[in-house]
Amino acid sequence: MLFRYLFILLILLPLKAFALIEVDITRGNLSPLPVAVSPLSIDNESKNNFKKILKKEDLGSAISAVVENNLRQSGLFNPLDKNAFLQKADIANLKPRFEDWNLIKAQALITGKVTFVDEKLRVEFRLWDVLAGKEMMALAFTTVPSNWRRVGHIITDKVYERLTGEKGYFDTRIIYVSENGPKTNRIKKLAIMDQDGFNSKFLTLGNELVLTPRFSPTNQMVTYLSYFRNLPRVYLLDIETGLQEVVGDFPGMTFAPRFSPDGKKIIMSFAQDGNSDIYTMDLENRIVERITNHPSIDTSPSYSPDAKYITFNSDRSGYQQIYVMNSNGKNVKRISFGNGLYGTPVWSPRGDLIAFTKLHKGKFYIGVMRTDGTGERLLTENFYQEAPSWSPNGRVLIFYRETKTNSKGEGFSAKLWSIDLTGYNEKMVETETDASDPSWSSLLSN
Amino acid sequence: MNRNITISFVLHTLLVIITAMSLPFLAKKPIDLPPIVSVELIQISDKTNIPFAPKAKKIIEKIKEKEKKLVSEQAPPKMVKKEKEDAIPLPDEKIEKIKKIKEKKQNPEKVETEIKQVSEFEKKELFDTSSIAALIDKSKVESAKTDKKLDKITQDQDKSIDFGGLSLSEEDALKAQIFGCWSIPLGLPYNENLLVRIKLQLKPDGSIMKSEILDHARMNRPGQGFYKVLAESALRAVKLCQPLRVPSSGYEKWKELQLNFDAREMLEG
């Protein structure tokens, strides 16, 4: 009898052992992660050497400032005030006192060291998990000293990827149309800059009107619209050599160019006799292929990242709307059905969304929708804004916005703006002049 | 003999008739009863049965069911390219080798031992085998006394009876605290099955004695970068939040706690 009781009890026993309380955590905060970016430590000899070459007082602090600025601009991180730091940079790089960093509420810490080795810049950096008290990442880079800003961007990319799970977008450049002068007589030049607005330079002289520059996925080529014999034509420009050429020998106007994901083709619109269709041109053998054949205006083509599909806008339904088709022009489907006009569709590098400009009741919106047209979200609204371009990780959109002129025709400006995919963190991107038609490059250090 | 039987039969018959005549239901008309209305009795309990976020709850349950499947459905590990940080900056031969974070491989044997320890502990708490015979014998003798005792549940008995979870308010307080501490990594894909389960051993004041990611091995598997990022963020949240807002009593009930972190509902927007 006793054994029978014991047997039953032993069977029932695990019931309590496994009655572990489970709590489902399905929400969190989206506030920026507090990060401490400690100045990179630098010895006196290296400091003096870099001072002679770069005219920088403290290169370690300058690089950490680049990282700090990038992280802040992303909107996902909150770099803490350096005045609150309790540990010195050179000691923190060796072994951080996590209690000190915990005290100022830092959840991650970036430390590092800068040295001058064989006329080159060598940067070590470490990323620490303050709460876990462990090192998350350690890398070192060696480059020519003039590349110091890029080192800062690459460090940010690594930190961003380690902490958010997606690739960064900091070691990138933006090409845009620089604008000067009164609205009626604007001088437009092609310009290129780092994504944070530094290292800006002009690529054209401003003799001809330039529009819609687009980066090649290889980053060395740019395609854009300019005028050739008084006709708008698509051009190719090699950034490194400065050589440019007209794309194809079309009898009419070509516009809205964009590269295919492998960089081997250009897709664009060709207009003749009031009708415009989409064409591609192979850059190797110069073979031109017609993709759409419809009596309506088909324009603004953009490939999906896998190059299987093309999105474009067309007025074939009577109003300008967004369509998706196979890359051979078959199976055309309309995907935008909201009120208003839709234009400039751009496929996300992630492949899941299409960004667009929408005009509705006199206002311009930048928005995103899924590739089947569902889930339309308008991210920002303004008097005039258009031409969204994706960051290489598909997290941020850059576009340009124009302001109204007053009754005297003054006050006009065009500026670049960026916004996060979530609709938060809308920021103006600093440029030396007025700017429009931005295009974001892919990561320079893949 | 026959006469006696006849008298008895007559008298019994008479008795039956008199009794029947005097029964009230025969005299009165049947009462017109109103239609029956069923009333469901619900026992009010302070234990929550309401899922906090029904959508998320469903997703989590789905994942739990499919967990084995998911493992097998994982894409084959990608060929991880060597990082080319030095490709554009010049490579440095002397560069210190990147310090690898030591992989804390989950030791399955260890986990098993821990589970066993828990079981042993619970066994001791609940049953003392040496005294079971005595208890059985006593129960026979003191059955009347036991009946009385049943009304008064002592604290020890309560401990063994209440296997359930936290009350609604207790669970909400804990959730609200962790929500505030958890910085969700926004780069995570919302369409992947990412669920991080963390088992905690708590001190009576709610501070953490031990935290363990239940699928720790997955963290270091190739192609599971997103999982690693999520798991680390969840661990940070737990550490940041401690001491956790746990009930002031019933330590035995919550000294071990499992937190299931799932950010998809927020990432989907």
B89-114 pLDDT per residue, tens: 434 444 444 444 444 444 444 433 33
Contact A436/A400 with Cβ under 8 angstroms? yes
Contact B168/B46 with Cβ under 8 angstroms? yes
Tokens of A11: 């069977």
The answer on pLDDT for A32 being more than 70 is yes
Min mean pLDDT across A152-166, A242-256, A380-394, B50-64 is at: B50-64
Instruction: State the average pLDDT over residues A76-82.
Output: 93
Domain count, chain A: 2
CB-closest option in A16, A137, A138 to B126: A16
What is the Cα–Cα distance from B178 to B186, expressed in whole angstroms? Answer: 17
The interface pTM score, or ipTM, of the predicted complex is: 0.73
Q: B128: pLDDT confidence band, cut at 50, 70 and 90?
A: very low
Give the pLDDT score at B132: 45
Give the pLDDT score at B269: 57
Q: Does residue B23 lie in a domain region?
A: no
Q: A407: pLDDT confidence band, cut at 50, 70 and 90?
A: confident
Which of A164, A196, A231 represents a domain boundary (last residue)? A164
Tokens of B17: 């008739």
- Hey, are the CB atoms on B98 and A22 less than 8 Å from each other? no
Q: Inform me whether the C-beta atom of residue A122 falls under 8 Å from chain B C-beta atoms.
A: yes
Higher pLDDT, B186 or A123: A123
Give the pLDDT score at A304: 96
Q: What count of residues does chain A have?
A: 446
Tokens of B247: 């009930």
Instruction: State the average pLDDT over residues B163-183.
Output: 83
List CB contacts (< 8 A) between B86 and chain A. 141-142
- Hey, are the CB atoms on B56 and A140 less than 8 Å from each other? no
**Residues 6+ away with beta carbon under 8 Å from A95:** none
Give the pLDDT score at A259: 95
CB-closest option in A13, A132, A445 to B88: A445
Q: Which helix (H) or strand (E) holds A110?
A: strand A108-117
Give the pLDDT score at B19: 81
Give the pLDDT score at A234: 87
Domain count, chain B: 1
Q: Does residue A193 lie in a domain region?
A: yes
Instruction: State the average pLDDT over residues B39-49.
Output: 46
Q: Which helix (H) or strand (E) holds A26?
A: none
Higher pLDDT, A320 or B218: A320
State the CATH number of the domain containing residue B247.
Answer: 3.30.1150
Tell me which range, A150-154, A405-409, B3-7, B141-145, is most confidently predicted by mean pLDDT. Answer: A150-154
| Residue-number span of the structural domain to which A325 is assigned | 173-440
Q: Does residue A21 lie in a domain region?
A: no
Distance from CA of B102 to the nearest CA of A (A): 10
Is residue A77 located within the same domain as residue A194?
no
Contact A97/A54 with Cβ under 8 angstroms? no
Residue B179 DSSP code: H
Q: Inform me whether the C-beta atom of residue B111 falls under 8 Å from chain A C-beta atoms.
A: no
Contact A116/A49 with Cβ under 8 angstroms? yes
Which of A164, A199, A215 represents a domain boundary (last residue)? A164
State the CATH number of the domain containing residue A318.
Answer: 2.120.10.30
- Hey, are the CB atoms on B90 and A144 less than 8 Å from each other? yes
List CB contacts (< 8 A) between A22 and chain B. 165, 257-260
Is residue A193 located within the same domain as residue A299?
yes
What is the Cα–Cα distance from B175 to A123, expressed in whole angstroms? Answer: 42
Contact A255/A268 with Cβ under 8 angstroms? yes
Q: Does residue A273 lie in a domain region?
A: yes
What is the Cα–Cα distance from B45 to A19, expressed in whole angstroms? Answer: 19
Give the pLDDT score at B63: 63
